[in-house]
Structure 1
Amino acid sequence: MKKRICFIATGGTIACSDSGNGLMPSLGAEGLAAAVPEAGELCSIDFVQLMQLDSSNLTPAHWQEIAGAVAERHDAYDGFVISHGTDTMAYTAAALYYMLENVKVPVVLTGSQLPMEHPETDAKRNLLTAFHAAASGRAGVFLAFDGHVLFGDSAKKLYSKEFHAFHSINRPEAGVMDFAAGKMVWHQQDCPSSGSFRLHRQLDDRVMVLKLLPGTSPELLKLAVDAGYRGIILESFGSGGVPTDESPHSFLPMIDYAIQKGVVLVCTTQCIYDGVHLETYEVGVRAMQHGVISGGTATVEALAVKLMLALGEGRDLTDF
């Protein structure tokens, strides 16, 4: 018996046509699936056209809408495929990874670097990979691209043009698509959970990222605090270098100011791989002593979502 898959379309390059003023999403879910007839042979597909947007226009409210659409149908389907624009797909993948707690079926996001109608498109290959992953029965939230399947909390877009645009950061890939054999080959899986499926909807989007440059004024941190941000991710140097009192631009006084105002400060690194390790150098240890929390090996995309959820649900952030 064929697996029953729900295909949720949200727009993105995969659905784009030339508007005369650049590419704009226009092709719907059924049109996308029709271009990949192998998907219809693999599984039974129902369609939901949730939105038709360039992913640069998505907000956390759209994550809530997508997560809600999955949660409403969770028990009725064997898996989900979500077509999405590539520019912010890593954020949405991370959002669904944390918002859909103990999801019992595969939820697979995909998109493309070229529109489906382009003669050299990567859309068909990506969509077919996503449907195979969704029909596999492997529960979790994933991002499928260029034959690779990544966990939703570790995907990052590294290329704006290359077909192999997304890489898994600080975590092995979940699997790959064997196109010759017509099947998924899984390498890794999340620890299976016996808990009940739960949707987390409460997000506080008053979260921002402050990228440090040599000589960045600490006043920028104060401005962000005074503007009402409740969570700020400091994108620091190397293993977690934050300017201290030895610098003419020490961040420590403004870190104290932010903490006193109840703002949560999380430190990450500008390095792509290996994560932040605040305990290594004095400039990181001092930041921790003043109240900055380590973001560990998580991507900025994952940290932003985790922080929004934690603030939205009023969680204790000591073990963030």
Structure 2
Amino acid sequence: MATPKEDPPILPTPLEVRVLQNEKVVMRKNSIGREKQDALKDAHVLILYTGGTFGMTPDAVGTLHPKSGFLEQKVREMDEFKFGGMPKVTIIEWEDPIDSSDMCPADWGRIAQTIEEHYWDYDGFVILQGTDTMAYTASALSFMLESLGKLVRRNLIMSVLCAASLEIPEVCIYSNDKLLRGNRTTKTFNMAVDAFHSPNHPVLALTGVETILEHGLILPYPRRRFSTFTNLHTNICVFHLVPGFDDDCITAYVEKHKREQPDAQAKAMVFALYGTGNAPLKKDGFLQVIQDALDAHIAVCVTTQCLHGRTQLDTYATGIKLLQMGVITSYDMTIESCVTKLAYLMGKGYRGPELKLNMETDLRGELSVLDVTGETDLTRPSSMTRKKVVKRMLSH
């Protein structure tokens, strides 16, 4: 990994933060006091470039490729980074930047380790990568960065501003004037500027002339010391159900696991079912193969194919049977969050009922808490639940 560059570039005009009665934070440009301006100027943000279009250069035929060293030059040429009174920026570029389609769990670990190495030297972190797998990276980091007390973001200029000035102890994605919780985000458009959305959770902040932060939605600061966990178990297969599907591919996956050594790495299967988590009732083979997987100690998680809404297995007969079998319910987690959370918890050593309990518990704001009426309550803090989870995890 390349060493940090010296003489870091500087960023645009400061922002003022003030709390309103409705628990929203409004930031106004050009209205900051001297004391806050000095504090912002003293802030230091680390930009980690892993790859992606922002730092790509064209080859002889015009095809874009990520290139180490190009980002720093590009940043120095941007007028927005030349205004005084803004946070210092240090850039670390991977010597071998990659396209986001090549991003894998080992790369998530590499990012997490870089943040851990520099955690006490910077006020916030901005990670640049391609957008295709960005939601997976954001979800994975939200679990791997344990007791995170600083902001980790994507999308350059406003990300640096926010990472220096906002107190948000979360992994976020900044896209098209929206700040989104990373493990709630999914890519919904492949060519649009407004590519990312948070289908089951409100945006954390909207930026513009006035930048409004939804203070009541921000996760509380952790009380434990920051650490990272990178030993993910990623032997996870996702099945997207279609009408008339063949059970044989699922059976083959289960049978292969049965033939492996007893100490083989844990496996999990995620099924994207219809609607609230519905599957064919008359197709007996499907329910049997699920039972076979559970009997073989393969974790089975059920999610919905719908972008909005939550998985509710107690609605239809098939779902009720799945619940009785003991499958994991994803509730309103994104598929990106679901698979990375599984990888994180299995890496922690959770299996069986303990894995199910933690998968169905809010750890990093990745799923919504229900109030006593059964309605989603996004503003009710679940810190007590997280404290109990932390205590359970300390024993692993």
Structure with the higher fraction of residues in helix conformation? 2
The answer to whether residue 232 in structure 2 is matched with residue 203 in structure 1 is yes
Q: 1:143 touches 1:152 (CA, 8 Å); kept in 2?
A: yes
Relative to 1, partners in 2 of residues 1:284 and 1:36: Cα closer, same or farther, differing over 3 Å? farther
Q: Which structure 1 residue ranges, 4+ long, deviate > 3 Å from structure 2? A: 226-229
- Give runs of aligned pairs for residues 143-162 of structure 1, distance below 5 A: 143-162=173-192
Equivalent position of 1:44 in the other structure: 88
Equivalent position of 2:57 in the other structure: 17
Equivalent position of 2:105 in the other structure: 60
Q: 1:219 touches 1:254 (CA, 8 Å); kept in 2?
A: no
Q: 1:94 touches 1:154 (CA, 8 Å); kept in 2?
A: yes
Tell me the secondary structure at the aligned position of residue 185 of structure 1. Answer: strand
The answer to whether residue 279 in structure 2 is matched with residue 239 in structure 1 is no
Equivalent position of 1:34 in the other structure: 76
Name the count of aligned residue pairs. Answer: 299
Task: Give the letter for the 2:192 counterpart.
Answer: E
Q: Deviations over 1:265-303 (max 9, x none)?
A: 100000001121111111111112223110110000000
Q: Deviations over 1:78-129 (max 9, x none)?
A: 000111100000000001111112211111023xxxxxxxxxxxxxxxx212
Equivalent position of 1:163 in the other structure: 193
Equivalent position of 1:117 in the other structure: none
Alpha-carbon distance, 1:75 to partner: 1.0
Task: Give the letter for the 2:242 counterpart.
Answer: L
Task: Give the letter for the 1:288 counterpart.
Answer: L
Q: 1:7 touches 1:29 (CA, 8 Å); kept in 2?
A: no
Relative to 1, partners in 2 of residues 1:214 and 1:30: Cα closer, same or farther, differing over 3 Å? same
Distance in structure 2 (CA, Å) of the matches to 1:148 and 1:210: 31
Q: 2:149 touches 2:221 (CA, 8 Å); kept in 1?
A: no
Q: For the aligned residues, what is the CA RMSD?
A: 1.7
The answer to whether residue 211 in structure 2 is matched with residue 172 in structure 1 is no
Alpha-carbon distance, 1:198 to partner: 2.1
Q: 1:203 touches 1:309 (CA, 8 Å); kept in 2?
A: yes
Q: Deviations over 1:16-49 (max 9, x none)?
A: 2333273222263313422434245421011111
- Give runs of aligned pairs for residues 135-284 of structure 1, distance below 5 A: 135-136=164-165, 137-178=167-208, 180=209, 184-187=211-214, 188-228=217-257, 230-244=267-281, 246-247=282-283, 250-284=285-319
The answer to whether residue 160 in structure 2 is matched with residue 131 in structure 1 is yes
Task: Give the letter for the 1:95 counterpart.
Answer: A
Relative to 1, partners in 2 of residues 1:281 and 1:6: Cα closer, same or farther, differing over 3 Å? same
Q: 1:277 touches 1:296 (CA, 8 Å); kept in 2?
A: yes
Distance in structure 2 (CA, Å) of the matches to 1:39 and 1:239: 47
Task: Give the letter for the 2:356 counterpart.
Answer: T
Distance in structure 2 (CA, Å) of the matches to 1:142 and 1:17: 27
Larger Rg: 2
Distance in structure 2 (CA, Å) of the matches to 1:272 and 1:96: 22
Q: 1:255 touches 1:291 (CA, 8 Å); kept in 2?
A: no
Distance in structure 1 (CA, Å) of the matches to 2:77 and 2:275: 45
Relative to 1, partners in 2 of residues 1:40 and 1:194: Cα closer, same or farther, differing over 3 Å? farther
Q: 2:237 touches 2:269 (CA, 8 Å); kept in 1?
A: yes
Tell me the secondary structure at the aligned position of residue 223 of structure 1. Answer: helix
Alpha-carbon distance, 1:133 to partner: 1.7
Deviates more, 1:217-226 or 1:273-282: 217-226
Relative to 1, partners in 2 of residues 1:289 and 1:39: Cα closer, same or farther, differing over 3 Å? farther
Q: 2:54 touches 2:71 (CA, 8 Å); kept in 1?
A: no
Q: Which structure 2 residue ranges, 5 or more long, are not aligned?
A: 1-37, 258-265, 360-396
Q: 1:104 touches 1:140 (CA, 8 Å); kept in 2?
A: yes
